[in-house]
Amino acid sequence: MFELPSSPASTAVPDGPEERESARHVTLKDIALKAGVHFTTVSLALRGHPSLLPTTRARILEIAGELGYRRDPVFMALTSRRANAQTPHKVCRMAFLTDEPSQNSFDRASHMRYFYDGARRQAERMGYTCDLMFIRGQDFTPDTLEVRLRNQGYEGVIIGAFHLPNTRIVLDWERYTLVKIDTQFMEPDFAFVSNDQMHAVRLAWQQLRQRGYRRIGMAVGRYDEIATRDLYSAGCLIEQAGLPPEDRIPPLHFDYADRVQEADPKLRAWVRQYRPQVVVSNWSEILSMAVATGLRVPEELACACLCLSDPDPRVAGVIQNHHAVGRRAAEMLAIAAKSEQRGIPARPAAVRIAGRWQDGASAPGIP
């Protein structure tokens, strides 16, 4: 860093030091007058700017030393604050976009709420704010989104687990730093954070085997496989790889449009054909679906859910850490914003958060 020539005490200035003390401070303009340059040149010279000739700079510094120029600390503090305040305050607002139609439906979807809570808390911890924004409200169209983000000074945007494929947003991407929660395949391709579905399958598998289950079957939505690029299958394949062939039950896939009433008969037929001791599923209704097969649950057919939001003593399975997903999304956004990474990245990263196992009555283990 640039240092001014030290103490003016030894320089030969007509006025004595006592008199000078009471006089007004030496300013850039005084130096400029004496050096015969413009005061902006003095400013550049004192900051060691490379655009000046070294000889000019040296001459101005010498004059500054002679006159006893010193930076005004209060003024410096203020300008330094003003200059630095730009950085943290410029990108301090994050918007968490949701395509839930209303606050009510948002509140009912506990995982959405947890995503948002996690993001907001982490944002606040980092000195940001994170506001929830509904993009399907009555007063909202895709065009107004851009206007609203811009006018209210949002520069970080979290796309909060949109319901595919009906939602599309278009923004002037270059203005924003973006992170997605889930929705990996919604265009454009941004870094995204999600629960670790492959880990969930593997964790469930290992826990169930520890509890004595040998014939484990997986039933998941085909849509969820597509949305995660087969992460459920990947977990299943890895866990089945070491098993004897007769214990490798092919996964059951529910179709995209299936509701419980369409899925029930499929599950029943699959259970009859392959006789699993336990079924793991990413459907939260899996317990009632298992009961609907007509088998005694859990004695004849146990079950575990891969995506519990909260502990439930009736259901064994993997509790997904939605708060952590939200936290990590806010954190990625802050890091990207800090280094001014905006727009659509060339190759975005994927972040996945592990869930944890929770025992429950639906899979008590085989004695």
Nearest-approach distance from CB 253 to other proteins, in angstroms: 12
Q: What's the DSSP call for residue 293?
A: T
Cα 297 from Cα 203, distance rounded (Å): 21
Q: Which is nearer to other proteins, 12 or 241 (CB)?
A: 241
Cα 231 from Cα 138, distance rounded (Å): 36
- Direct distance between the N- and C-terminal alpha carbons of the chain, in angstroms, rounded to an integer: 73
Rounded to a whole number of angstroms, the CA Rg of the chain reads 32
Q: Is 1 in the site for other proteins (CB under 8 A)?
A: yes
Question: Which listed range, 8-16, 38-46, 102-110, 233-241, lies at the site for other proteins (CB under 8 A)?
Answer: 233-241
Note whether 95 and 157 are within 8 A (CB): yes
Q: Is 4 in the site for other proteins (CB under 8 A)?
A: no
Q: Is 344 in the site for other proteins (CB under 8 A)?
A: no
Q: Which of 77, 147, 226, 269 binds other proteins (CB under 8 A)?
A: 77
Q: Across the strands, what pairs with 178?
A: 157
Q: Is 243 in the site for other proteins (CB under 8 A)?
A: no
Q: Is 78 in the site for other proteins (CB under 8 A)?
A: yes
Cα 347 from Cα 329, distance rounded (Å): 17
Q: Which of 41, 281, 321, 358 binds other proteins (CB under 8 A)?
A: 321
Q: Is 335 in the site for other proteins (CB under 8 A)?
A: yes
Question: Which listed range, 69-77, 143-151, 167-175, 283-291, lies at the site for other proteins (CB under 8 A)?
Answer: 69-77
Of 52, 47, 152, 163, the C-alpha closest to 94 is: 152
Q: Which is nearer to other proteins, 293 or 321 (CB)?
A: 321
x-or-dash string of contact with other proteins, 203-232, rule CB under 8 A: ---------------------------x--
Q: Which is nearer to other proteins, 292 or 354 (CB)?
A: 354
Q: Which of 16, 73, 244, 367 binds other proteins (CB under 8 A)?
A: 73
Q: Which of 53, 170, 226, 238 binds other proteins (CB under 8 A)?
A: 238
Provide the sign of the torsion angle of the four alpha carbons 220, 223, 225, 227, taken in this order. Answer: negative
What would the DSSP string read from start to end of 21-86?
Answer: HHSPPP-HHHHHHHHTS-HHHHHHHHTT-TTS-HHHHHHHHHHHHHHT----HHHHHHHHHHHHHH
Using CB under 8 A as the criterion, which residues of the chain lie in contact with other proteins when the complex forms?
1, 73, 76-78, 80-81, 84, 125-126, 193, 196, 198, 230, 233-235, 237-238, 241, 321, 324, 328, 331, 334-335, 338-339, 347-354, 356
